[in-house]
Structure 1
Amino acid sequence: MRLSGQNLKCVRGGREVFSGLDFAAVSGEALAITGPNGAGKTSLLRVIAGLLVPAEGLVALDGGDAELSLPEQAHYLGHRDALKPALSVLENLSFWHEFLGGEPKDTAGCLAAVALDHATHLPAAYLSAGQRRRLSIARLLSVRRPVWLLDEPTSALDAAGQALFVGLMREHLAGGGIVIAATHLPLGLDARELRMGGAA
């Protein structure tokens, strides 16, 4: 499987964010997108995820499921944790599992994998920032998708949470997945780097 972008150009609010950008990542590979604030890291992830339409260029996934679009084969983990505060931890994860069309799966096992099995019935409103991030990460495990698009994935995580997430990313890569992450911090993985310019 190969995910690539060719001659990508992104314009937002009448401003060119980046242009002439090429990238590629293959199964089992992590790509770290680095650069200062405003360089277009989040915009690139959103283009790959199908949330933004590039002004020029093409994003393609070769070797994936031919009947599914790239967005249907990718998870996008953004800055904000998409959770309903009034729903319990388990209800939040169950919602995303059903919404994303997941096969029958042990959602409790996904919560255990992110060390939230003790908080299953706790309303999400009571979670700390780090726990909310762990719940969002559980969504990546709940429905199997080969491409993970991660925007500052370790934000709000303590050292233990970061180590846990590194382990999950390694398992994903070992299973033939692809990780593309916009980050200011080291991923803790053997990752190639795509450095983006722009003003800080």
Structure 2
Amino acid sequence: MEFEAQSLTCRRGEAIVLRDVSFRVRAGEALILRGPNGSGKTTLLRTLAGLTPAVAGKVTAPTEAMAYGAHADGLKAQLTVAENLAFWAAAFGTGPAAAARAEAAFDLAPLRNRRAADLSAGQKRRAALARLVLTDRPIWLLDEPTVSLDAENTARFAAAVQAHLASGGAALIATHIDLGLPETRLLDISTFAARGTPDRAADPFAEAVE
């Protein structure tokens, strides 16, 4: 599913952080957000997800088409991994088959009967990312998704994103990790800083180098 941001102005609290943010993400494509800490990557993702209203501009896709993966894992600590996945499958109306696919995508079968409270940071992150698979939503908005993941599970996550793109989905990912994804572009979010923006080329996009 293709979507577009058109002249977005975004705020963090009462402060304007980004102005005139415009880009398009095509079906089957991942757009990678880059920029230093505090440059507005999380602010943009929250605005796109509908969690923070845009000050100006618009997004062409509805928030119901988007799955947002934030810094927090969003797991219910006293539920097992399997119970967490079942809960979210029910919430999104995708059912047990979707929960099983999500479990397989992130190799959670050995952990399915373990409480979320007893998982390591990396295991919690895997369980949280598995939720994306079972949402059945075409647009993934991901904020530093590989935090706490080792190399093997970073590769597992990249494979899940690639499968999502291959099925016609799209992804916007804030990350400094090279995920090796096909059909990937980079967007330097600091280009749109509301204040103190350094001189840059008019086009902030750059093709990723494999």
Give me the TM-score of the superposition, normalised by structure 1: 0.90
Equivalent position of 2:158 in the other structure: 166
For the 8 Å contact 1:103–1:143, the answer to whether it is kept is no
Equivalent position of 2:42 in the other structure: 42
Q: Judging changes above 3 Å, is the alpha-carbon distance between structure 1 residues 169 and 106 closer, same or farther for their aligned structure 2 residues?
A: closer
Tell me the secondary structure at the aligned position of residue 105 of structure 1: helix
Partner residue of 2:188 out of 191, 195, 198 = 195
Equivalent position of 2:105 in the other structure: 113
Deviation at 1:14, TM superposition (A): 2.4
- The aligned amino acid for 2:93 is G
Q: Structure 1 vs Structure 2: percent identity of aligned residues? A: 45
Tell me the secondary structure at the aligned position of residue 122 of structure 2: helix
Alignment of 1:87-98 (within 5 A): 87-98=79-90
- How many residue pairs end up in the alignment? 191
Query: How many Å separate the matches in 2 of 1:189 and 1:142?
Result: 21
Tell me the secondary structure at the aligned position of residue 86 of structure 1: coil
Query: How many Å separate the matches in 1 of 2:74 and 2:92?
Result: 13
Equivalent position of 2:2 in the other structure: 2
**Over aligned residue pairs, what C-alpha RMSD do you find?**
1.4
Query: How many Å separate the matches in 2 of 1:153 and 1:95?
Result: 21
Q: Judging changes above 3 Å, is the alpha-carbon distance between structure 1 residues 109 and 15 closer, same or farther for their aligned structure 2 residues?
A: closer
Query: How many Å separate the matches in 1 of 2:117 and 2:72?
Result: 14
For the 8 Å contact 2:105–2:130, the answer to whether it is kept is yes
Query: How many Å separate the matches in 1 of 2:55 and 2:187?
Result: 20
Give me the TM-score of the superposition, normalised by structure 2: 0.86
Query: How many Å separate the matches in 2 of 1:10 and 1:57?
Result: 9
Alignment of 1:105-184 (within 5 A): 105-184=97-176
For the 8 Å contact 1:84–1:92, the answer to whether it is kept is yes
Query: How many Å separate the matches in 2 of 1:162 and 1:13?
Result: 32
- The aligned amino acid for 1:87 is L
- The aligned amino acid for 1:54 is A
Query: How many Å separate the matches in 2 of 1:118 and 1:128?
Result: 13
Deviation at 1:50, TM superposition (A): 0.8
